[in-house]
Amino acid sequence: MAALRRRGTPPARLLLALLCWALTSRCTGATAVQPPSVTLLQTPERAPRPGDSVTARCEALSTLPELTLIYWLGNGSFVEKLPPAAAAREEPVREEPRGAGVMLRRDLRLEPFSAHHSRTTFSCVVLSPLGAHTTDLRWPPPAPARG
């Protein structure tokens, strides 16, 4: 690495060259390498109430699953940092082969759901060397009051 620096090749350029090589070596025949995309963002059918146990699901398709991250943010921060402590957590990533790619799934658990969560913008982010895609979660509207 020191020899590369002396010749004027910074480590970042070397890393980029290796990454590009890895991507092109994965693209063979009819297999096209595509940027990742969120394909499903699933929320409960009814608006959650404080105290409920709530799960939101995010699914994303990636042609480079070993180089793709899928995670949740709340107001732009990692969900584990949101108050109240430990009320929001991400489940482990699940993978399922789909055609030339892999479907990545990551659930967000809010337990117990709080009024703070209803005012939080949760975003599912899928990130790979080919690009990023973010989709915001929208809670179902509250049921109309019975009168």
Grouping H, G, I as helix, E, B as strand and the rest as coil, residue 106 is: strand
Q: What is the domain partition of the chain in residue ranges?
A: 1-29, 31-136
Tell me the pLDDT tens digit for each residue of 10-56: 555 555 555 555 555 554 443 567 888 899 999 888 889 999 999 99
What's the fold here for domain 31-136? Immunoglobulin-like (2.60.40)
Average pLDDT over residues 109-116: 91
User: Is it the case that residue 126 has pLDDT exceeding 70?
Assistant: yes
Looking at residue 100, its pLDDT comes to 83
Distances (CA, A) of 63 to 41, 59, 100: 19, 13, 6
99: left (phi over 0), alpha (psi -120 to 50) or beta: left
Residue 8's pLDDT band (boundaries 50, 70, 90)? very low
Looking at residue 122, its pLDDT comes to 95
Looking at residue 138, its pLDDT comes to 87
